[in-house]
Amino acid sequence: MVYELSQRFYFEAAHTLERDIDVEGSRRIHGHTYHAQVFVRGVPDPRTNMVIDLGHLNQVISTVRAELDHRFLDDVPGLGAATIENLCAFIYRKLEAVIPQVNRVAIERPASGDRCDYIATAAATA
């Protein structure tokens, strides 16, 4: 039987953004509260009966969160432009390097209603 587990976290960060609409406000430093959710999929280990120990998942998420929380995203190495898409991909890459069962990362900005899902299978074919 295959299970999907998830863990949520949030971070506060500022950035600028080059775009064609809302140009002036986007180019100024501004910030958001980002809500992220990480999904892990797999078959439970017969010894532990867990797909992953959620304590281990939380530890790895904490290290990634520390790279983003209360940061100026424009300066985060490996992120690129601070788009919601790049944030999803960045979190996925960081987590997947340690936890290969990660199969999806979602980020929401509730205040503006924006959401992005990075799905591993789609990324592998892109």
pLDDT in tens, 54-107: 999 999 999 999 999 999 999 999 999 999 999 999 999 999 999 999 999 999
Is the pTM higher than 0.85? The answer reads: yes
The answer to whether 61 and 94 have CB atoms below 8 angstroms apart is: no
Amino acid 117 reads D
DSSP string, 25-91: HHHS-EEEEEEEEEEEEEPPPTTTS-SS-HHHHHHHHHHHHHHHTTEEGGGSTTT-S--HHHHHHHH
> Which band of pLDDT confidence, cut at 50, 70 and 90, is reported for residue 123?
very low
Specify the number of domains making up the chain: 1
Average pLDDT, the chain: 91
By residue range, what is the domain housing residue 77? 3-125
Report the CATH number at residue 40: 3.30.479.10
